[in-house]
C-alpha cells in the first residue's frame, strides 16, 4: 500500500460541495473489505450506519426473528446470488482518491491536480446515475483523501459476472447488455462526457442475478470539457482504444468504438490466444478486406443483426461511425424487447471462455511474479530486450504486408506502425523459448508446474508489468502532472499505467517471494490490464 505525503501536495479543499470531513465520514460509514484498487486510492466496501440503524429498528418492530436478517447488526441481506454475500441495503462502494504525493512500489507519484480530482466527482454528479451510469451518493473530503461514495455493484465486472453464470448467455441477454451499455455511452454523450476507458473491467453489474442491470463505472480518465472539434488528450487501455485515439484526435465517438470491442469480448471472451490478430483485424483500414465475422473465437450462432451492430460500432472512420443514439435503434439492440417470441438460443461457450480468461489472468500474474523474483534485474532487462527486438521485427514485417495490401486507401506508414505494434504482448511459448535459450531451467520447470500451464502456450503474455518492475519508467509518474513531454502514442498505449495490487503482495514482500508467487489462488481476480498514462496534464 502506498504512503500518502499529502503535506507535500499542499492542497486545500478540492470538492467545495462535500458532505463533510474525516469525522463525518467515520460517523456515517464503517469500512469493510477492499473491492478493488484505483491508481491513486482503493475502492472499499462500506456500510452506511444510518441505514443499518433504521433496518434494526424496522426489524425489531416487525419482530422478524425467523428471517435471514440480523437484528443485532441491523443487517438486511439483499444479495440474491449464491456466492456468500457480505452486503445489504446499507452497503456502498467508496473510492478513496489520495490528494498528496504517493510513494508506492518504490516510485514517487506526483499528486493528482485538483481539477483532475474534481473531474471524476463532477462527471458522476453530472450523469446523476441515470441510464446505467454509476450513481454517486456522497463525497467526503479530508486533508489527505477524497472519499467518493457510490452505489455498490456486487455482481462484479463483465468477466466475473459472465463467468459465474450457470448457462451460456442467450442472444436476448447480449442484446440487453448492448442496449444498456450503449444507453450509458449515449447518456455520457448527451452530457458532453467521454469516459475514455470503456473496457470489461469498467462495466460492472449491480447484482449476480441474470437480470441484473449493468453500470458504466470509472470516470477517472474521463472528460466533461466541451471541445470545439477534436480532443487531443490520450487515454484508455490498448486493446479497447479507438483508431482515432491512437492518432490523438477524437470525439465522443471514441467511446462507441470501445463499447464495440467490449461487446465482441462479451460473446467471444478475451482473445488472449489471438490478441494481436484480433487487434489487427479490427484496426484494418481497408473496409473491403475487413470481415468482423472472422474475429477470433466468435460463436457461430450469433444472429446476423449482431454483426450489423458490431460493424457500426467498430466503423474505422470516426467521422462516419454512427452515434450511440443511432445504434440504439439497430435491430440487434432492440431485439431483447421482443426476443421471447423468436428463436433465442444460447451463445455457445460464452461462460466457458470468460472463465478461461479469468483463469489465464491468474496464470499470467504467477508468470510475472516468477520472472520478477527468479531473474536478476540485469537478466530481466536482457529478457525484455530480446522480446522487444523480436516483436519489433515481427511488427515491421506485418506493416510491410499490410501496406502492400492497402491499395484502396493509403495511410501514413507511421499510422500503420502504431497499429501493429501497439499491444505490448508476447506469446507464452516465446517466453519459454527465451528462458530455454538462457538456460533458466529452474524457472521453466516452475512455470510448467503452474496449473493448466500447457493450455496457455499460445496465449498473449502482457509484458508491461514486468517492464514497470525493472524500472523502465521514470521514477516520478507523470500522470495528470501537466508535463508536456510526451512519448509516442504507441508506447503510451502499451498499458504503462498502474501497478496492480497483486504484484505488491507477490513481488515486493521479500520474505514471501517465490512461495507467494505459487499460491495460484491467492491473487485477486481484479484485472491486470493497465490503464495507459494520460499524457496531457491539461486533460481536456
Ligand atoms: N461501485 C463499485 N462496486 C463494486 N466494485 C467497484 C465499484 N467501483 C469500483 N469497484 C472495483 O474497484 C476497481 C477499481 O475501481 P475504478 O473506479 O475502476 O478505479 P481505477 O481508476 O483504478 O480503474 C474496479 O475495477 C472494481 O473491481
Ligand atoms: Mg477501472
Q: How far apart are CA 218 and CA 95, in angstroms?
A: 10
Give the residue, 446 or 233, on which the prediction is more confident: 446
Name which residue leads in pLDDT, 435 or 537: 435
Identify which ligand lies nearest to the alpha carbon of 205. 1
Which ligand is in closest contact with the Cα of 198?
2
Backbone angles phi, psi at 76, to 5 degrees: -120, 105
Closest ligand to 95 CA? Answer: 1
**177-181, 189-193, 410-414: lowest mean pLDDT where?**
410-414
Q: Which atom of ligand 1 is nearest to the CA of 498?
A: 22
Say which range, 130-134, 280-284, 316-320, has the weakest mean pLDDT.
280-284
Contacts of 229 (CB under 8 A, 6+ apart): none
Residue nearest ligand 1's atom 16 by CA: 218
Distance of CA 83 to the CA centre of its chain: 23
Mean pLDDT of 292-302: 93
pLDDT band at 56 (very low <50, low <70, confident <90, very high): confident
Q: How far is CA 484 from CA 222, 418, 472, 502, 530, in A?
A: 19, 20, 19, 31, 22
**Mutation choice for ligand 1 from 47, 218, 498, 526, CB with most ligand atoms inside 8 A:** 218
Reduced to 3 states, what is the DSSP secondary structure of residue 145? strand
pLDDT of residue 57: 85
Sign for the pseudo-dihedral over CA of 215, 219, 224, 230 = negative
Nearest-CA residue for ligand 1 atom 24 is 36
Contact between 259 and 187 (Cβ < 8 Å): no
Instruction: Kindly tell me if the per-residue pLDDT of 469 is higher than 70.
Output: yes
468 confidence band (pLDDT: 50, 70, 90): confident
Q: Quick one: cell of 391?
A: 516483436
Find the 495 Cα to ligand 2 centroid distance in Å: 13
The answer, yes or no, to whether residue 260 has pLDDT greater than 90, is yes
The 8-class DSSP code of residue 408 comes to: S
List ligand 1's pocket residues with C-beta within 6 A. Answer: 35-36, 38-39, 43, 93, 95, 134, 150, 152-153, 157, 201-202, 204, 217-218, 220, 526
Contact (Cβ atoms closer than 8 angstroms) between residue 338 and residue 331: no
Give me ligand 2 centre to Cα 409, in Å: 36
Q: What is the pLDDT of residues 261-285, one digit of tens each?
A: 999 999 999 999 999 899 999 998 7
Specify the residue with its C-alpha closest to ligand 1, atom 23: 38
- Among 120, 149, 150, 217, the mutation site with the greatest number of ligand 1 atoms within 8 A of its Cβ is 217
* Ligand 1 atom nearest residue 217's Cα: 17
Evaluate if residue 71 carries a pLDDT over 90: no
Domain chopping of the chain, boundaries: 6-151, 156-350, 357-473
Query: What would the mean pLDDT of 478-482 be, rounded to a whole number?
Result: 36
**Closest C-alpha among 205, 202, 217, 199 to residue 161:** 205
| Percent of the chain residues past pLDDT 70, beyond the cut | 70
Spacing, Cα 83 to ligand 1 middle (Å): 19
| d(CA 242, ligand 1 centre) in Å | 22
Confidence of residue 68 (pLDDT cuts 50, 70, 90): very low
Reduced to 3 states (helix: H, G, I; strand: E, B; else coil), residue 36 is strand
Pairing mode of beta strands 214-216, 203-205 = antiparallel
User: Is 156-350 a CATH 1.10.357.10 domain?
Assistant: no
Which has more pLDDT, 471 or 219? 219
Q: Which residues pair with 92 in a beta bridge?
A: 46, 151
**CATH H-level superfamily of 6-151:** Phosphorylase Kinase; domain 1 (3.30.200.20)
Question: What distance in Å separates the CA atoms of residue 244 and residue 300, rounded to the nearest whole number?
Answer: 30
Residue that wins the pLDDT comparison between 108 and 373: 373
Rounded mean pLDDT of the chain? 78
Interatomic CA distance for residues 32 and 25, integer angstroms: 14
Cα–Cα distances (Å) from 287 to 14, 193, 245, 247, 303, in that order, read 47, 29, 19, 19, 21
Cα within 13 Å of Cα(449), Cβ side: 12
| Highest mean pLDDT pick, 31-45, 69-83, 338-352, 441-455 | 441-455
Residue 24: predicted pLDDT: 98
d(CA 196, CA 16): 26
Q: Residue 199 CA: which ligand is closest?
A: 2
Looking at per-residue pLDDT, the higher value among 339 and 213 belongs to 213
Output the CA 201–ligand 2 centroid distance in Å. 6
Q: What spacing in Å lies between the alpha carbon of 215 and ligand 2's midpoint?
A: 12
Q: Whose CA is nearest to atom 17 of ligand 1?
A: 218
Residues 88, 55: contact at Cβ < 8 Å? Answer: yes
Question: Using an 8 Å Cβ cutoff, are 30 and 149 in contact?
Answer: no
Please, which residues have CB within 8 angstroms of residue 381's CB and are 6 or more apart in sequence? 470
Among all ligands shown, which has an atom nearest to the Cα of 221? 1
- In ligand 1, the atom with minimum distance to the C-alpha of 218 is 17
pLDDT band at residue 288 using 50, 70 and 90 as cut-offs: low
Query: What was the pLDDT predicted at 83?
Result: 42
Cα dihedral across residues 126, 128, 131, 135: positive or negative: positive
Set of cell numbers at residue 334: 432492440
Q: What is the DSSP string of 152-215?
A: --TTEEHHHHHHT-SSPPBHHHHHHHHHHHHHHHHHHHHTT-B-S--SGGGEEESSSSTTPPEE
Closest Cα to atom 6 of ligand 1: 35
Which one of the ligands is nearest to 94 CA? 1
- Residue 257 alpha carbon to ligand 1 centre in Å: 22
Q: How far is the CA of 531 from the centre of ligand 1 (A)?
A: 13
Atom of ligand 1 nearest to the CA of 37: 14
Amino acid at each position: 500500500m502506498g504512503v500518502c505525503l499529502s503535506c507535500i501536495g499542499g492542497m486545500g479543499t478540492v470538492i467545495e460541495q462535500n458532505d463533510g470531513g474525516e469525522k463525518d465520514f467515520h460517523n456515517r460509514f464503517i469500512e469493510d473489505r477492499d473491492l478493488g484498487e484505483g491508481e491513486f486510492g482503493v475502492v472499499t466496501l462500506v456500510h452506511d450506519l444510518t441505514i443499518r440503524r433504521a433496518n434494526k429498528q424496522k426489524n425489531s418492530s416487525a419482530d422478524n426473528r425467523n428471517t435471514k436478517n440480523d437484528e443485532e447488526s441491523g443487517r438486511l441481506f439483499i444479495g440474491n446470488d449464491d456466492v456468500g454475500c457480505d452486503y445489504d441495503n446499507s452497503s456502498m462502494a467508496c473510492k478513496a482518491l489520495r490528494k498528496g504525493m504517493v510513494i508506492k512500489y518504490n516510485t514517487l507519484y506526483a499528486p493528482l491536480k485538483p481539477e483532475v480530482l474534481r473531474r471524476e466527482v463532477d462527471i458522476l454528479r453530472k450523469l446523476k446515475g441515470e441510464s446505467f451510469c454509476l450513481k454517486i451518493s456522497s463525497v467526503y473530503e479530508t486533508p489527505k483523501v477524497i472519499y467518493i461514495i457510490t452505489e455498490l455493484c456486487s455482481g462484479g465486472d463483465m468477466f466475473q459476472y459472465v463467468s459465474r453464470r450457470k448457462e451460456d448467455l442467450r442472444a436476448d441477454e447480449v442484446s440487453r447488455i448492448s442496449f444498456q451499455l450503449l444507453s450509458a455511452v449515449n447518456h455520457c454523450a448527451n452530457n458532453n462526457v467521454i469516459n475514455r476507458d470503456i473496457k470489461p473491467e469498467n462495466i460492472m453489474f449491480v447484482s449476480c442475478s441474470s437480470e441484473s442491470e449493468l453500470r458504466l463505472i470509472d470516470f477517472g480518465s474521463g472528460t466533461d470539457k466541451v471541445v470545439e472539434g477534436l480532443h487531443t488528450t490520450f487515454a484508455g487501455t490498448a486493446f479497447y482504444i479507438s483508431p482515432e485515439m491512437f492518432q490523438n484526435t477524437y470525439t465522443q465517438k471514441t467511446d462507441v468504438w470501445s463499447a464495440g470491442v467490449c461487446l465482441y469480448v462479451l460473446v467471444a471472451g478475451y482473445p488472449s490466444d489471438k490478441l494481436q490478430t484480433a487487434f489487427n483485424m479490427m484496426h484494418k483500414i481497408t473496409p473491403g478486406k475487413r470481415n468482423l465475422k472472422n474475429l477470433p473465437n466468435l460463436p457461430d450462432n450469433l444472429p446476423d443483426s449482431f454483426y450489423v451492430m458490431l460493424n457500426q460500432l467498430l466503423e474505422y472512420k470516426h467521422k462516419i461511425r454512427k452515434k450511440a443514439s443511432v445504434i440504439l435503434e439497430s435491430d440487434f439492440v432492440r431485439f431483447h424487447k421482443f426476443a421471447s417470441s423468436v428463436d433465442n438460443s444460447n451463445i455457445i461457450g460464452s461462460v466457458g471462455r470468460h472463465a478461461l480468461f479469468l483463469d489465464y489472468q491468474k496464470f499470467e500474474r504467477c508468470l510475472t511474479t516468477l520472472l520478477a523474483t527468479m531473474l536478476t534485474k540485469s537478466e530481466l532487462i536482457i529478457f525484455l530486450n530480446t522480446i522487444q527486438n523480436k516483436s519489433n521485427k515481427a511488427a515491421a514485417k506485418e506493416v510491410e504486408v499490410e501496406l502492400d495490401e492497402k491499395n484502396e486507401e493509403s495511410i501514413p506508414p507511421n499510422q500503420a506502425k502504431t497499429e501493429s505494434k501497439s499491444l505490448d504482448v508476447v506469446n507464452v511459448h516465446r517466453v519459454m523459448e527465451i528462458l530455454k535459450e538462457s538456460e533458466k531451467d529452474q524457472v521453466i520447470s516452475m512455470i510448467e508446474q503452474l496449473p493448466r500451464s500447457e493450455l496457455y502456450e499460445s496465449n498473449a503474455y502482457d509484458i508491461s508489468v514486468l517492464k514497470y518492475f525493472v524500472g523502465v519508467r521514470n521514477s516520478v509518474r507523470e500522470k495528470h502532472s501537466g508535463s508536456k513531454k510526451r512519448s509516442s502514442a504507441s508506447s503510451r498505449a502499451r498499458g504503462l499505467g498502474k501497478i496492480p495490487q497483486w504484484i505488491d503482495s507477490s513481488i515486493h514482500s521479500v520474505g514471501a517471494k517465490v512461495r507467494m508467487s505459487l499460491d495460484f489462488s491467492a491473487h485477486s481476480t481484479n484485472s491486470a490490464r493497465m490503464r495507459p498514462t494520460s499524457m496531457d496534464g491539461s486533460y481536456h
